[in-house]
Amino acid sequence: MTTLLADPYYSESNAVFRRATNQTEVMLDRLADHARDRGRITILSVGSGVGLFELPMLTRLGEEGITVARFVGVDPSAHANAVLGRKLADPGNEALDFELVATPFETYDTEARFDMVLFNHVFEYLAGDPLTWVGKSLGLLADGGNVLLFSPNRGGINQIYQDVFAELVGAPPLFADDIEVMLDGSGIAFSMESMMATCDVSALQQLGEDPEKLMLLSFLTQRDCRDVASEVREHYVEYYLSLRQPGRNSIPHPVTLFVM
Ligand SMILES: C[S@@+](CC[C@H](N)C(=O)[O-])C[C@H]1O[C@@H](n2cnc3c(N)ncnc32)[C@H](O)[C@@H]1O
């Protein structure tokens, strides 16, 4: 049976994808803007994964002179936590007070309060009513803290992911426009900003079953494309290449930031 992309291939594919997109840099710029006037910050990252966003974030905050007084990652993937744990224990991070909790956010419980609760492309994985998880995050904030929620935009680069997710999970994923409607009706104060980034899809021009091509394609679609019929796979490739801007190897990769 075909399933959504799962570890360890998920994390390997995520690494290829993150090298192809500049979305992380765009997001880090904005995140740094939110952290800059604090000087010292505690962070809870929901769905911290192998830290492909979180590790550059810690580096960037350090470069900005912002001390991360504590970092907590919550992710149900034991594989992801083990990988991130090793990286956080690397020389260079020894001063960091961190904890990784192998549980879904839905069942995570703590007395701690955080200056920032971060969701990076994770909201759509949470089971049940999304507003419950916004409420839970707001309850985990220290005075003056913020929830930062990065969410994918509908269509374009995310169209096939939307179809695959709906087919395999039985319901469509949440996109930024869904979250906006949900927050609008909730009475929760929030701001939102759509940011433009690009994703280099040159690897998709490789022939046949090139490993980097399959990993990029798998992450973009969230389906393990090693198991997908070659005609379906090449149809996916054609779709992404059709999104290229004239004379470029990159396609638009927008993301929306909600701040609460
Ligand atoms: C797209 S990845 C993002 C990883 C990381 N934040 C990054 O940007 O590199 C989504 C992560 O959410 C995690 N996840 C899935 N369901 C979750 C849940 N119920 N609670 C917390 N994390 C979850 C997955 O294991 C995965 O590591």
Cα–Cα distance measured from residue 207 to residue 3, given in angstroms and rounded to the nearest whole number: 25
**Average pLDDT of the segment spanning 239-251:** 95
**Is residue 100 lining ligand 1, measured as CB closer than 6 Å?**
no
pLDDT exceeds 90 at position 183: yes
Whether pLDDT at 3 is above 80? no
Q: Is residue 93 part of a domain?
A: yes
**Among the ranges given (85-89, 157-161, 169-173), the one the predictor scored with the smallest mean pLDDT:** 169-173
Flag whether 87 is in a domain: yes
In a domain? residue 155:
yes
Decide if 248 is inside a domain.
yes
Query: Which atom, in ligand 1's list, is nearest to the CA of 51?
Result: 9
**DSSP helix/strand/coil, 177:** helix
What is residue 171's DSSP assignment? S
* Average pLDDT over the chain, rounded to an integer: 93
**C-beta 73 within 6 A of ligand 1:** no
Q: What is the pLDDT of residue 252?
A: 96
Tokens representing 149? Answer: 């929620």
90-117: pLDDT as tens digits = 877 777 899 999 999 999 999 999 999 9
On whether residue 79 sits in a domain, the answer given is yes
- What pLDDT digit, counting tens, does each position of 17-33 carry? 999 999 999 999 999 99
* Span from the CA of 210 to the centroid of ligand 1 (angstroms): 26
Cα distance between residue 119 and residue 169, in whole Å:
21
The fraction of the chain above a pLDDT of 90, given in percent, is: 79
Q: What is the mean pLDDT of residues 150-163?
A: 95
Confidence of residue 1 (pLDDT cuts 50, 70, 90): low
Q: Residue 60: CB partners within 8 Å, gap ≥ 6?
A: 28, 31, 32
Q: Which atom of ligand 1 is nearest to the CA of 18?
A: 9
Let me know if residue 3 belongs to a domain. no
Q: How confident is the model at residue 198 (pLDDT cuts 50, 70, 90)?
A: very high
At residue 2 the predicted structure's pLDDT band, cuts being 50, 70 and 90, is low
pTM beyond 0.85: the answer is yes
The total of structural domains in the chain comes to: 1
Looking up residue 245, the CATH number of its domain turns out to be: 3.40.50.150
Write the Ramachandran bin of 208: left for phi over 0, alpha for psi from -120 to 50, otherwise beta.
Answer: left
pLDDT band at 38 (very low <50, low <70, confident <90, very high): confident
4 in a domain, yes or no? Answer: no
Residue 68: CB within 6 Å of ligand 1?
Answer: no
**Does residue 2 lie within any of the structural domains?**
no
What residues make up the domain containing 171? 9-259
Instruction: Return d(Cα 114, Cα 254) in angstroms, integer.
Output: 28
**Contact call for residues 60 and 28 (beta carbons, < 8 A):** yes
